[in-house]
Structures are given as C-alpha cells and as structure tokens.
Amino acid sequence: MGSGMAANLVAAGHDVVVWNRTRSKAEALGGVTVAESPADVASRCPLVMVCVSDTPDVVEVVEGDGGLMESLGDSSLVIDHSTISPSVTRELAEKVAAVGAGWLDAPVSGGSEGAERGTLSVMVGGDPDHLERARPYMEAFSKTIVHVGDVGAGQTVKLVNQVLVVINQWAASEALILAQAAGVDLRAALAAVEGGAAGSWMLSNRGPQMIERDWRPGFTIDLQQKDLRLVLEAADELGVALPGTAQVFQMYRALQRRGLGEEGNHALVKALEELNDLELAGD
C-alpha cells in the first residue's frame, strides 16, 4: 500500500521522504529521499504519513527507539493510514498532542490496486482543519476523502468497511457455489446479476477472479484476518454481537491453517468449496 501511495505523491510533484523497516523497499522507489528512521522523517517533514500493518507497528513507529515522538513539534501533523485499534489511536493522538503535534486517523480502502492507481477511499477522524491541511497530499492517491468525526472515528468507519467487505465476499462465494452446484454457467450468472440489486464491488471485481481461480491478492487473507480481529475486539468493547463477521473470521482461520494466508481475501470461497466437496469451474 505505502509504495503505491508514495509513488503517487512523487508523481503529483511533492517532495517525499520515506522510511521503511526493510530499507531496500524504500530504496526501490524512484524520486524519494530515504530516511534513517521515523524520527528522521519527522525532523524533515511537517506532515508524516504512516502506513504499516497492525496496531503494535504503529505504536513502534510513534513511540519506539528512533520513533516519531523524538522529532515531532508544534508544526507536525501525523496522518495514520494504517488500520488499527480505535482505542489505541485515541491514546496515541493524546500523546502526540502533548508535544503540540496533530493527529489524523485516516485508514484507506481500495487495496494495493487502489494505492497504485490513486483511487483509494480515505475515512478521516480528527480536527477538520488538520484534514484541510492534509487534503492536497491525500488527493495524490485518493478519489474519495470523507471526514467522519473525531479522532478514532476514522478507524471505526474502516472497521465498518471491513465488515461490509467480508460479508459481501461471503455472499458472493455462496452465490457462486450455488450456481456451480446447479450446473449454471458462472460467467453468465455473474453478468446477469451484477447490474441489479445483488451487485457489489466485491462481486464484480473478485467474482471473475474466483471463477478463473486467480488468487493473486489485492488484500491478503492474513491482513483481512488482522482487520477482522480488530472488528471483533471493538465489538467486544462495545458489547455488540456480529455473528456473520465472527463466522467469516473462523472460515479465514481455517484457510490460514491450510497455509493460504498470502492468497487474496476472495479465496474465502475455498472454505465453502471444501464444505461442499466441489470447486468453481469457469471453463
């Protein structure tokens, strides 16, 4: 995700300083300056964008040895594009505010394809003035930027997004399994329904991949599971039941046990294939 976003920032004419835990990945980007640490980035850049995998990774980037906190000042604005815990987000924002800096939680949706194409959707929590300051930079890699509330709200809305993603993927998987079992042409069935009330982004974009048995990831099962863990943790904190999300989490867990964590999240259909002892066949 981060490499595509950085490349689009460079293409838009911005001066970009990059740090990555794997230095070679940063060095592979054209037109950027490679920093020595997150603190080095913060010392050079008033706006710092973070895009890493999980809550502990963001904590380490902010508070760890050589972290952002060592260099943040009154003019600094941290924009976290990761998907992490809403409650930890609020804690980090308070610590950053204590040194005079600002924080936006701005998780993104659209996968690696969206990052590369500059078509991500961003859901932003935090001060609206901070968002207006950051917006010209976010526009380099986004097509939709929506302010959804105070700090933490962006992360919560991203979790809402992930519930919709996986339940839509589950529905698309069950539908194609039914069509396969009935002997219906899968491509014809997809064409017949995707333009109507049953249509969805997941069906139109991942349905053909499922039919073709193309499991290349726009978003991996392992990363999807991390997000669903965050969803279920937030649901537990709020005391709400999300049985459908919990079921999908268990299906993905079964696929991880089979060593499929690096496949695209649309490989969810493989769990249903195993339950039904059949495979989608588009030929």
Quick one: pLDDT band at residue 1, thresholds 50, 70, 90?
Answer: confident
Domain limits for position 239: 156-276
Domain boundary among 150, 170, 201: 150
Residues 68 and 103 placed together within one structural domain of the fold = yes
Residues 35 and 104 placed together within one structural domain of the fold = yes
Quick one: pLDDT band at residue 8, thresholds 50, 70, 90?
Answer: very high
CA atoms within 13 A on the CB side of 117: 12
The string of pLDDT tens digits covering residues 64-111 is: 999 999 999 999 999 999 999 999 999 999 999 999 999 999 999 988
Residues 126 and 260 placed together within one structural domain of the fold = no
Checking if the pLDDT of 283 tops 70, the result is no
Residues 203 and 102 placed together within one structural domain of the fold = no
Between 1 and 122, residue with greater pLDDT = 122
Residues 133 and 238 placed together within one structural domain of the fold = no
Residues 267 and 189 placed together within one structural domain of the fold = yes
CA–CA separation, 203 and 193 (whole Å): 9
Asked if residue 281 is part of any domain, the answer here is no
Residues 118 and 244 placed together within one structural domain of the fold = no
Residues 123 and 7 placed together within one structural domain of the fold = yes
Residues 20 and 72 placed together within one structural domain of the fold = yes
Taking all residues of the chain, what is their mean pLDDT, rounded to a whole number?
A: 96
pLDDT above 90 as % of the chain: 96
Asked if residue 14 is part of any domain, the answer here is yes
Q: Supply the pLDDT for residue 266.
A: 97
Give start and end residues of each alpha helix (H) in 45-152. Answer: 55-63, 86-97, 111-117, 128-138
The string of pLDDT tens digits covering residues 213-267 is: 999 998 999 999 999 999 999 999 999 999 999 999 999 999 999 999 999 999 9
Checking if the pLDDT of 282 tops 80, the result is no
Residues 272 and 170 placed together within one structural domain of the fold = yes
CA–CA separation, 12 and 138 (whole Å): 11
Residues 28 and 142 placed together within one structural domain of the fold = yes
Domain boundary among 99, 117, 150: 150
Tokens 């609020």 appear where? 90
Domain boundary among 110, 131, 150: 150
Tokens 């097509």 appear where? 143
Q: How many domains does the chain have?
A: 2
Q: What is the mean predicted confidence (pLDDT) over 5-22?
A: 96
Distance of CA 180 to the CA centre of its chain: 31
CA–CA separation, 61 and 54 (whole Å): 11
Q: Supply the pLDDT for residue 205.
A: 94
Q: Is 149 helix (H, G, I), strand (E, B) or coil?
A: strand
Asked if residue 282 is part of any domain, the answer here is no
Residue 216 is classified by DSSP as -
Q: Supply the pLDDT for residue 50.
A: 98
Query: Is residue 156 within 8 Å of 253, Cβ to Cβ?
Result: no
Residues forming the active site:
158
Q: Supply the pLDDT for residue 169.
A: 97
Parallel, antiparallel or unpaired: strands 108-109 and 120-125: antiparallel
In the chain, the amino acid numbered 3 is S
Residues 142 and 36 placed together within one structural domain of the fold = yes
Q: What is the mean predicted confidence (pLDDT) over 138-156?
A: 97
Query: Is residue 38 within 8 Å of 66, Cβ to Cβ?
Result: yes
CATH number for the domain that contains residue 43 = 3.40.50.720
Q: Supply the pLDDT for residue 279.
A: 96
Asked if residue 168 is part of any domain, the answer here is yes
Asked if residue 283 is part of any domain, the answer here is no
Q: Supply the pLDDT for residue 112.
A: 85
